[in-house]
């Protein structure tokens, strides 16, 4: 085992997922945290590091009865938890703390115990984007795709296929919000949200949470669950203003984050058995497959169309059903991490046989930020 | 319920020249005096080389359509469906806008089509730049 290795020793989602009108947002964090502590056989007093968002870390520490000696509140949107994992791994290796809890909880649908949406009209996006009628991610995250489709000749049918394949995975998952099979035609006849995106190409809006507990790989063998090791991590950032993204056909933050994670893990793409790519909208798996290097530029839509990422395909992708069909509370990154851990533990509802390496890639704040974590059930 | 209004910008010291420009019917960009690169949104230094020696200049107002969506959900005071676009200015920088003066359809909104800036006064302080098909 490498001297500086980190493992996940606790992982859990909230007891319920979907519509949870009887829990406020901070209690969704706590429910997931208590489940993860039970999974790891730990009490709040055993935790000495805490990272969370969108709740404020000191508030959650007090609520959970944790006295952290290491505090992280990194908030870069839905991939914040990938960054928390990366920062926690570095902190544990540096001896800043030994046992880190990372939580997410979001009352995305029911909006219980959540402040109002607000915008700063003096910010650059408030001055130069908000006046043009943007309504959150469905009208902003989506803007690059027509340029991508024109550049590579990708059709609306191919974009729709992303949602179709992920529904096939969701059908195998009892906790998925949407399980009924859909066809390309169903996607293309669903309600138009923001051309070219139709309803079934957009993520769900649900309530839920999740939590992870990390410690050194040396300590990990003393925990009840089989450790899931972290082989490599990456993060990146580009622009919160979509109009200032360098190239609408590729994400610079994805490329930076992915390269870092693969280099640190010392693996190649053919070693990867399982892949998660944060899919708030149907185009994100296309960008992810290409920017992480699984496909050449322009080839991801064909790769998915030919069922390489579908059940039985050579690169199982978004096996929980993804943000499109499993759940999406607003900051989905935590649920992608949970599915990677389940796959590495061998307990996923749609388990990939003999999977040993899982790559989990997140996006945050539209294309503003990115985080990548590479897991394995084999000690590095 | 109060009538919904378009969320208007609040200028800051670093962006005031831009909004004074639109009120005067000019699209004002900045250019680095060192590396000569034009950039947007406004800031008092060059994002490429970090130089603080920068100048404001009047842009041509010509652009091409880089990418867009057509929003179909109700968003008062906007009338759906309406385009939310990113245009590439002839000088290089890109900016968000609405494409006006043409049907809000995929057929009328072709990527790379030439566009021209138009200004619409919103308040005494704020005039917003929009883009219409060139020659329309
Ligand atoms: Zn310069």
Mean pLDDT (chain A) is 96
Measured in Å, residue B31 CA sits from the centre of ligand 1 at: 8
- Count of CB atoms situated within 10 Å of the CB of A378: 9
* Within a domain: A174: no
Whether B1 shows a pLDDT value over 60: the answer reads no
Nearest residue to A74 via CA among A86, A64, A63:
A86
How far apart (Å, rounded) are the C-alpha atoms in residues A255 and A221?
A: 34
Mean pLDDT (chain B) is 95
Q: Are the CB atoms for B66 and B111 separated by under 8 Å?
A: yes
Q: Are the CB atoms for A205 and A331 separated by under 8 Å?
A: no
B135–chain A nearest CA distance, Å: 23
Residues, beta carbon < 5 Å, ion ligand 1:
B 32, 34-35, 46, 48-49, 51
| Range in A87-96, A105-114, A275-284 the model is least confident about | A105-114
What is the DSSP secondary-structure string of A203-239? ----EEEEEEEEEEHHHHTTSSSPPEEEEEEEEEE--
Q: Are the CB atoms for A194 and A146 separated by under 8 Å?
A: no
Q: How many CA atoms lie within 13 A of A346 on its CB side?
A: 8
- Enumerate the active-site residues of A: 278, 326
* Within a domain: A138: no
Q: Which of B10, B17, B43, B71 to mutate to test the interface with A (most CBs of A within 10 A)?
A: B71
Tokens at residue B55, please?
């100048």
Average pLDDT of A362-368? 96
A240–chain B nearest CA distance, Å: 13
B-contacting residues of A 193-232, CB under 8 Å? 193-197
3-state secondary structure of A14: coil
* Within a domain: A135: no
Question: Looking at residue B97, what is its pLDDT?
Answer: 98
Q: Do B67 and A126 lie within an 8 Å CB cutoff? A: no
Q: For A156-180, b where at least 16 C-beta lie within 10 A, e where not — what string?
A: bebbbbbbbbbbbbbbbbebbbbbe
Question: Looking at residue A2, what is its pLDDT?
Answer: 75
Nearest residue to A235 via CA among A105, A47, A90:
A90
Q: What are phi and psi of A232, to 5 degrees?
A: -165, 155
Q: Sort out which chain A residues have CB atoms less than 8 A from B98's CB and list them.
A: 132-133
How far apart (Å, rounded) are the C-alpha atoms in residues A258 and A140?
A: 23
Measured in Å, residue B11 CA sits from the centre of ligand 1 at: 24
Residues whose CB falls within 8 Å of the CB of residue A374, separated by 6 or more in sequence, listed in order:
A230, A231, A232, A233, A261, A262, A264, A265, A267, A357, A358, A359, A360
How far apart (Å, rounded) are the C-alpha atoms in residues A166 and A311?
A: 9
Whether A118 shows a pLDDT value over 80: the answer reads no
B111 → closest Cβ in A135, A139, A147: A147
Query: What domains does chain B contain, in order, with CATH numbers?
Result: 16-133 (2.40.50.840)
How far apart (Å, rounded) are the C-alpha atoms in residues A106 and A39?
A: 21
* Within a domain: A213: yes
Give how far Cα A104 sits from Cα of A11, A32, A101, Å.
12, 8, 10
Residue-number span of the structural domain to which A313 is assigned: 6-113+204-376
Question: Looking at residue A295, what is its pLDDT?
Answer: 98
Q: Do B106 and A196 lie within an 8 Å CB cutoff? A: yes
* Within a domain: A99: yes
Predicted-complex ipTM score: 0.93
How far apart (Å, rounded) are the C-alpha atoms in residues A274 and A316?
A: 5
How far apart (Å, rounded) are the C-alpha atoms in residues A201 and A145?
A: 12
* Within a domain: A144: no
* Within a domain: A299: yes
Measured in Å, residue B39 CA sits from the centre of ligand 1 at: 9
Tokens at residue A82, please?
């990938």
Question: Looking at residue B39, what is its pLDDT?
Answer: 97
* Within a domain: A359: yes
Q: What CATH number corresponds to the domain at position A265? A: 3.40.47.10
A255–chain B nearest CA distance, Å: 20
B81 — contact with chain A (CB < 8 Å)?
A: yes
Question: Looking at residue B136, what is its pLDDT?
Answer: 75
Give how far Cα A155 sits from Cα of A162, A242, A330, A373, Å.
12, 22, 27, 31
3-state secondary structure of A191: coil
Average pLDDT of B41-61? 95
pLDDT bin (cut points 50, 70, 90) of residue A94 is very high
Q: What is the pLDDT of residues A197-215, one digit of tens each?
A: 999 999 999 999 999 999 9
Measured in Å, residue B61 CA sits from the centre of ligand 1 at: 22
Question: Looking at residue B120, what is its pLDDT?
Answer: 97
- Looking at the structure of chain A, the number of domains it has is 1
A146 — contact with chain B (CB < 8 Å)?
A: yes
Whether A1 shows a pLDDT value over 80: the answer reads no
């Amino acid at each position: 085992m490498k001297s500086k290795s980190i493992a996940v020793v606790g992982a859990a989602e909230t007891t319920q997922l979907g519509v949870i009108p009887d829990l406020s947002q901070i209690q969704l964090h706590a429910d997931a945290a208590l489940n993860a502590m039970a999974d790891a056989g730990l009490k709040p007093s055993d935790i000495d590091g805490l990272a969370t968002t969108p709740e404020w870390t000191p508030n959650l520490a007090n609520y959970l009865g944790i006295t952290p000696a290491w505090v992280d509140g990194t908030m870069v949107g839905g991939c914040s938890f990938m960054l928390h994992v990366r920062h926690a791994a570095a902190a544990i290796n540096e001896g800043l703390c030994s046992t880190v809890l990372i939580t997410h909880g979001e009352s995305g649908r029911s909006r219980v115990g959540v402040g109002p949406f607000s915008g700063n009209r003096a910010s650059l996006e408030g001055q130069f984007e908000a006046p043009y009628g943007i309504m959150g991610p469905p009208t902003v995250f989506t803007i690059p795709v027509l340029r991508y489709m024109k550049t590579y000749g990708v059709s609306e049918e191919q974009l729709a296929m992303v949602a179709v394949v992920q529904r096939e995975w969701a059908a195998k998952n009892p906790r998925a919000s949407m399980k009924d099979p859909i066809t390309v035609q169903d996607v293309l006849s669903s309600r138009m949200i923001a051309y070219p995106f139709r309803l079934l190409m957009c993520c769900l809006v649900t309530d839920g949470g999740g939590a992870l507990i990390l410690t050194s790989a040396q300590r990990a063998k003393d925990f009840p669950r089989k450790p899931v090791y972290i082989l490599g991590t990456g993060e990146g950032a580009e622009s919160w203003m979509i109009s200032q993204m360098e190239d609408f056909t590729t994400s610079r933050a994805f490329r930076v984050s992915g390269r870092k994670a693969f280099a640190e893990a010392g693996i190649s793409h053919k070693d990867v058995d399982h892949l998660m790519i944060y899919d708030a909208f149907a185009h994100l798996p296309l960008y992810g497959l290409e920017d992480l290097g699984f496909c050449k530029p322009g080839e991801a839509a064909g790769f998915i169309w030919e069922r390489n990422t579908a059940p039985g395909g050579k690169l199982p992708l978004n096996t929980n059903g993804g943000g499109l069909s499993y759940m999406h509370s607003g900051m989905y990154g935590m649920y992608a991490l949970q599915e990677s851990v389940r796959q590495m533990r061998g307990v996923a509802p749609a388990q990939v046989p003999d999977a040993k390496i899982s790559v989990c890639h997140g996006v945050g704040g539209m294309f503003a930020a990115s985080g990548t974590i590479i897991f394995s059930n084999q000690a590095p | 319920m109060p009538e919904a209004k378009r969320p208007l910008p609040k200028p800051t010291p670093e962006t005031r020249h831009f909004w004074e420009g639109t009120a005067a019917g000019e699209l004002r960009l900045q250019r680095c005096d060192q590396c000569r690169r034009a950039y947007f949104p406004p800031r008092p230094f060059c994002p490429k080389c970090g130089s603080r020696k920068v100048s404001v200049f009047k842009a041509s107002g010509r652009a091409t359509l880089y990418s867009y969506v057509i929003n179909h959900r109700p968003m008062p005071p906007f009338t759906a469906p309406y385009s939310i676009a990113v245009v590439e200015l002839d000088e290089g920088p890109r900016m968000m806008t609405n494409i006006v003066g043409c049907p809000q359809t995929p057929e009328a909104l072709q990527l790379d089509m030439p566009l021209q800036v138009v200004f619409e006064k919103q308040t005494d302080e704020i005039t917003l730049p929009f883009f219409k098909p060139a020659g329309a």
